[in-house]
Amino acid sequence: MRRTPVMVPKSAMCRLALVALLVALAPARADTAVPVVVATSAEVPILRELSLQGSVTAERNARLSVAIGGLVTAMEVDTGDRVEAGDLLLELDPELARLQRDAASARAAQARIRRDDARRRLEEARVLLPQRGIAETAVRDLEAALAEAEATGEQAQAEAALQEALLARHSLRAPFAGVISKRLTDLGEWLDPGQPVFELVGMDGLLLDFAVPENHLASLSPGAAVKFVPGARPAAEHGGTIESVVPVAEPGARTFLLRVRPDAGVAPDLLPGMSVTAQLQLATGRSGVTVPRDAILRYPDGRVVVWSVEKEADGAGVAVENVVTTGLAFGGRIEISAGLAAGSQVVVRGNEALQPGQALAVTGAAP
């Protein structure tokens, strides 16, 4: 038997479509608990974070030079070589200096022989003096001759030592351990006294230098902790302490040198010349309410909101919207100048789409 189709009026179909659309667009029911993670607002000392750009410097950085003139006959190191204290770096032609040293040593030996002979003759004369075998004046002459021979011997010995020292200065040795950063001479070149031949950078005792504006000087003191990040390894954060604040301003810039010493064990990750970014937390002298950064929501209309959890009579938690005024940000927290009290439970996870009065299920607490 053929069924006759039921005709639904067009107006009724429109009403059904409208109801379905309203149901789809309707907000979630207030009694549907939203899982959230909370933290507690706390009153803590307020700090001001200061970000500084600086560079790694070596505590020891020397331009090595020769003490005497000479011809370069041997180069033992090159740019980039690591050396230890006392390692041979360069040699000058030692032939003339060696001959002068040998001649001085020979003169010193002759002086010793004359001194010993004068001493022997004086001792023999003193034996004969009581027997009237020699005049007293002759003995005094022998004593004077011995004194002169001893002085001549000391002078010859000093000249020999001088020539030995000059010969040793034909070899240039590293005064401390480090890396040869630059070579300024080559084989066959004639060097004058004081002429730079190498640049040596020490790898021990690296420091971090930053330029600090003068308005922050009062908040800085030696021994304060500093966090910094090397430019070559931006994901690696290290610690250090303020070594000194150099009280000399950069002309025109009104900045002062802040020197930071990295903590023990950090230096192997650093190289002289590397850029670093430091974060300093400076005391403001006041306290205030703070919340974790994740508790802050900023809306396009300019509102800054923190959602908190309010307990109802039955113990269930509901969402409360708090329009707040923020202050300084530091250490992962943000100061709340107005709009929230200390000790409030604030939502740090799951707060993106909350509505006032919405039921909340606290699933955990942020540290």
What per-residue confidence (pLDDT) applies to 139?
83
Q: What pLDDT, on the 0 to 100 scale, is given for residue 13?
A: 54
| Distance, CA of 187 to CA of 65 (rounded, Å) | 15
Look at residues 285, 306, 329 and tell me which one is the last residue of a structural domain.
285
CATH of the domain at 224: 2.40.30.170
Which residue segment(s) compose the domain that 181 sits in?
Answer: 65-92+170-204
Look at residue 170 and tell me whether its pLDDT is greater than 70: yes
In a domain, 20, yes or no: no
Using CA atoms, how far apart are residues 177 and 171, in angstroms rounded to an integer?
Answer: 17
pLDDT of residue 213: 84
Query: Is residue 18 included in any domain, yes or no?
Result: no
The answer to whether residues 195 and 299 belong to one domain is no
In total, how many domains does the chain have?
4
* Residues ≥6 apart with Cβ < 8 Å to 72: 90, 91, 92, 93, 185, 186, 187, 188, 189, 190, 191
CATH number of residue 104's parent domain = 1.10.287
Per residue in 16-75, pLDDT (tens digit) is 454 444 444 444 444 578 999 999 999 999 988 888 899 999 888 999 999 999 999 999
Q: Are residues 220 and 345 in the same domain?
A: no
- The pLDDT value given to residue 19: 42
Question: Looking at the chain, how many residues does it have?
Answer: 367
For Cα atoms 150, 110, 136, give the angle at the middle one, nearest 5 degrees: 45
Which of these three, 285, 317, 342, is where a domain ends?
285
pLDDT at residue 276 greater than cutoff 50? yes
pLDDT (0 to 100) of residue 25: 44
Give the residue with greater pLDDT, 17 vs 329. 329
Which pLDDT does position 26 carry in this prediction?
42
- Residues 36 and 99 placed together within one structural domain of the fold: no
Residue 253 pLDDT level (bands cut at 50, 70, 90): low
Residue 24 placed within a domain: no
Residue scoring higher pLDDT (206 or 174): 174
Tell whether 72 and 174 lie within a shared domain. yes
Judge if 199 and 210 occupy the same domain.
no
> Do 85 and 179 belong together in one domain?
yes
Residues 215 and 187 in one domain: no
Per-residue pLDDT, averaged over 340-361, amounts to 92
**pLDDT tens-place string over residues 199-222:** 999 888 889 999 888 888 777 888
Q: Average pLDDT of 125-135? A: 78
Least confident of 4-8, 92-96, 352-356: 4-8
Same domain, 272 and 321: no
Question: Per residue in 280-313, pLDDT tens?
Answer: 888 888 899 999 999 999 999 999 999 999 988 7
Q: Which residue has the higher pLDDT, 77 or 268?
A: 77
Task: Give the CATH number of the domain where residue 195 resides.
Answer: 2.40.50.100
Distance CA 358, CA 361 (A): 10
**Token output for 287:** 């306290």
Mean pLDDT score, 215-232? 83
**pLDDT computed for residue 110 by the predictor:** 94
- Domain identity same for 82 and 104: no
Query: Do 272 and 216 fall into the same domain?
Result: yes
Query: CATH number for the domain including 292?
Result: 2.40.420.20
Band (pLDDT 50/70/90 cuts) for residue 268 is low
Model pTM above 0.95 = no
